[in-house]
Amino acid sequence: MPRRTTALLLHTLVAVHTLPLPVRYVASHLGQQFTESPSSALPDILADSGPLTPIIFVLSPGADPTSALIRCGGVEVWRVPGAHDPS
């Protein structure tokens, strides 16, 4: 295969060009809600959680949810039975 043909083929297969097609397919067959990212606001996540649905943080290097937890803790009252309150 000539270099130019290879370059053109690779250019057409780049994810930037191929990503919209499966997104449109999923949106048309399953619904638009399956193509949108869920909310990452901690109060929204907290509202969806419960004793049987815990919140699990998957962190990447440099990610620190501590300040968001402290801010959310000011709004919500989190009590763990048997836990000691350090304040």
> For position 30, what pLDDT does the model report?
92
Backbone angles phi, psi at 26, to 5 degrees: -60, -45
Longest dimension (CA), the chain: 72
Q: Please report, for the chain, the start and end positions of each structural domain, with discontinuous segments joined by +.
A: 3-34, 42-75
> For position 77, what pLDDT does the model report?
54
> For position 28, what pLDDT does the model report?
92
Q: Which of 32, 39, 37, 35 is nearest to 55 (CA)?
A: 39
Spans of the chain, pLDDT less than 50: none
Indicate left, alpha or beta for 40 from its phi (over 0: left) and psi (-120 to 50: alpha). alpha
